[in-house]
Amino acid sequence: MDYPEEIDCLWLGTDAHGNVGAFVTAGRGPIPEAILQIPSNLLEELERMANELPRTGLAVSVAPMKRPDDFVALAERGLFAYDWSDLHRTLADATGKYELMASPGVAIKLSDLPQDLMAVAECASVEGRFGTTRFLDMAQDTLVRPLPRTRNPSPI
């Protein structure tokens, strides 16, 4: 599958401690190559499936944002919720990293996921531990990024 450019796509990953993170691309954030190998119909359903997980407890909104509801809802289901917030930053202020938006009060482990979600999350292992830093740098060698945007020449 090609990169789902300009589509706010959600993918799942796991950290070295078995915690599960939900990553929202904002249509521009990198996605592990292995995630793009899963069937496209499953990739399109991940956000809905993640939001159907049972609530595990309260969540803590970490980063300032106008509407944290979607990220808080994911964290209430035990997922560490990350966003590609560079979409809202100037090029000079861009971090090139996923930003933690909300943390779960009670985190779920990979083994707590339904089989189909577990299979997806297992495709993307992230070093370190979710929630310990605000920004998460991903391993560069396994990521697929959208093609750079080209500027349309202005008619003169």
- pLDDT tens track, the chain, 156 positions: 676 666 778 999 999 899 999 999 887 788 888 888 888 888 889 999 999 999 999 998 887 767 788 999 999 999 999 998 877 666 767 667 889 999 999 999 999 999 999 999 999 888 878 988 888 877 554 555 554 444 444 454
E strand intervals along 72-130: 80-83, 98-104, 125-126
- The rounded distance, in Å, linking the Cα atoms of 25 and 29 is 4
Helix spans in the chain (H): 40-51, 69-75, 115-121
Domain assignment present for 118 = yes
pLDDT at 13: 93
Which pTM does this prediction carry? 0.84
pLDDT at 49: 95
Helix spans in 76-156 (H): 115-121
Domain assignment present for 110 = yes
* 17 three-state secondary structure: coil
Give the structural domain span for 97: 10-144
pLDDT at 96: 75
Domain assignment present for 156 = no
CB count within 10 Å of CB 153 equals: 6
pLDDT at 139: 59
Strands 20-24 and 10-15, by their bridges, are antiparallel
> 80, 22 in Cβ contact below 8 A?
yes
Domain count, the chain: 1
Q: Is the dihedral of CA 123, 51, 97, 92 positive or negative?
A: positive
- The rounded distance, in Å, linking the Cα atoms of 104 and 90 is 29
pLDDT at 114: 96
Domain assignment present for 122 = yes
- The rounded distance, in Å, linking the Cα atoms of 26 and 12 is 14
